[in-house]
């Protein structure tokens, strides 16, 4: 039995799905390897990537930041190697999108609001 994800489906969008729905903002983005849900990182105010894991049980994520390529397992709380995985593009959010993001939604004092 091998439960590892072999093909990561396309991402849910350019930004954190739940933040976009609630006019929120994020620092960095994470992508669920099981379903493609884009969520915000643990430093972000709402920690939606972690929330998605807790709701769905989808334990493996990847960074959705340009220039980063790593995988992480929430349950084991560790970085993981997935040499055989195929990632459906795009591999990161659009370069035109700032971090923190999205543009226009980030408060001026965002650095004081991080977790
Ligand atoms: Zn979020
Ligand atoms: Zn998922």
d(CA 22, CA 70): 28
Query: What is the whole-number distance in angstroms between the Cα of residue 108 and the centre of ligand 2?
Result: 31
Residue 111 burial by Cβ neighbours in a 10 Å radius (0-12, 13-18, 19+): exposed
Ligand nearest to C-alpha 39: 1
The highest-level CATH class for domain 7-90 is alpha beta
Ligand nearest to C-alpha 28: 1
Phi, psi of 50 (to 5 degrees): -60, -40
The pTM for the full model equals 0.93
Q: What is the chain's pLDDT, residue by residue, as a tens digit (115 residues)?
A: 445 559 999 999 999 999 999 999 999 999 999 999 999 999 999 999 999 999 999 999 999 999 999 999 999 999 999 999 999 999 999 999 999 999 999 999 999 999 9
Given a contact cutoff of 8 angstroms between Cβ atoms, the answer to whether 86 and 6 are in contact is: yes
- Name residues with Cβ closer than 5 Å to ligand 1, which is an ion: 16, 18-19, 26, 40, 46, 48
Query: What is the whole-number distance in angstroms between the Cα of residue 34 and the centre of ligand 2?
Result: 5
Report domain extents, the chain: 7-90
């Amino acid at each position: 039995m091998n439960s590892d994800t072999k093909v990561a489906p396309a991402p849910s969008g350019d930004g954190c799905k739940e933040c976009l729905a609630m006019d929120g903002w994020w620092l960095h983005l994470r992508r669920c390897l099981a379903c493609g849900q884009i969520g915000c990182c643990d430093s972000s105010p709402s920690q939606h990537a972690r929330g998605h894991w807790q709701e769905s049980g989808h334990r493996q994520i990847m960074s959705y930041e340009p220039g980063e390529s790593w995988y992480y397992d929430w349950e084991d709380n560790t970085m993981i190697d997935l040499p055989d995985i195929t990632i459906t593009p795009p591999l990161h959010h659009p370069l035109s999108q700032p971090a923190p993001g999205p543009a226009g939604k980030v408060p001026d004092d965002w650095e004081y609001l991080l977790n």
